[in-house]
Structure 1
Amino acid sequence: MFEINHQVGIKASPEKIYHALTTDEGLTNWWTNDISGAGNVGSTIKFRFNGGGPDFSVTELVENKTVRWKHSGSTPEAWMGTEILFQIQAGDDQTYVRFTHSHWKESTDFLAHCSTKWAVFLLSLKDYLEANQGRPFPNDVQISH
């Protein structure tokens, strides 16, 4: 199995980061502007990019510490069976977000593309929380033409 792994330090409280990862309002400010369904464990979040996109079931929430989703849709096909984990850890002068997108079946060009895009969106999360200027899709940094 293969995985994407990133960490970013954010000058925001664990509570604010947790809110940005667990609510429709928070998620629309850094990932994509078309999100519905964020909520408790068992809820399904629908992330849309120009009408299509992945669905994730919320499988674990530990307030201000852990957010875990399991891909529950049929697109993108390469994401089927994958999991996303956000681990939130308070530091001395910032809070660290450790991101993992795991259970990829193979290392492909698409996995490499997604790794870069996840870095872009994690920096959007940072910008949203530090400067209230996230860059969710469709205003995100484009990495290919």
Structure 2
Amino acid sequence: MYYNIYHNLLIKASPKVVFDAVSLPEHLNNWWTLKSSGTPEFDSEYNLNFTDAYNWFCKVSEVKNNESFYLKMTDSDKDWNPTTFGFDLEVQDSETLVKFSHVNWLEDNHHYRHSSFCWAILLNGLKNYLEKGIIIPFEKRN
């Protein structure tokens, strides 16, 4: 049995703007990572750095420009390593519906539940970044 995290939110921005924000390192660093690298191309490796102790790697497992972007963890901690997370984007009126998922958690443990909570906060940060230009300094992100 696997455990999954799902969050949906509307963002007042085009799918291209949202896609860029969830797939390009210069945007990821403004709402999620301390520093990151990677290219939104199938099987491309991403480095997601949060601290020296949390310097994780993943590969693009699915990408459709301005529609979907998924990363499969390859080198992280034991709870995240078997997981894949990503974003499906749909136009809804003049906004973009972001369907976020983080799937294949092996345990319904503290880390899983804490990660779900943190994703909700981070996705709200993504929304504020794109709609209002707000960048929360990395050290103040949860």
TM-score by length of 2: 0.92
- Count of residue pairs the alignment pairs up: 140
SS in 1 for 2:85: strand
Separation in structure 2 between the aligned mates of residue 57 and residue 45 of structure 1, nearest angstrom: 6
Q: Deviations over 1:47-77 (max 9, x none)?
A: 111222321101111111110110011x221
Q: Counterpart in 2 of 1:67?
A: 69
RMSD value over aligned CA atoms?
1.3
Give the conservation status (yes or no) of the 8 Å contact 2:40–2:63.
no
Separation in structure 2 between the aligned mates of residue 82 and residue 137 of structure 1, nearest angstrom: 23
Letter of the structure 2 residue corresponding to residue 68 of structure 1: Y
Q: Which ranges in structure 1 are unaligned for 5 or more consecutive residues? A: none
Give the conservation status (yes or no) of the 8 Å contact 1:32–1:136.
no
Letter of the structure 2 residue corresponding to residue 65 of structure 1: E
TM-score by length of 1: 0.90
Q: Counterpart in 2 of 1:37?
A: 38
Give the conservation status (yes or no) of the 8 Å contact 1:30–1:134.
yes
Q: Which ranges in structure 2 are unaligned for 5 or more consecutive residues? A: none
Letter of the structure 1 residue corresponding to residue 15 of structure 2: P
Letter of the structure 2 residue corresponding to residue 72 of structure 1: T
SS in 2 for 1:64: coil
Give the conservation status (yes or no) of the 8 Å contact 1:126–1:134.
no
Percentage of identical aligned residues: 31
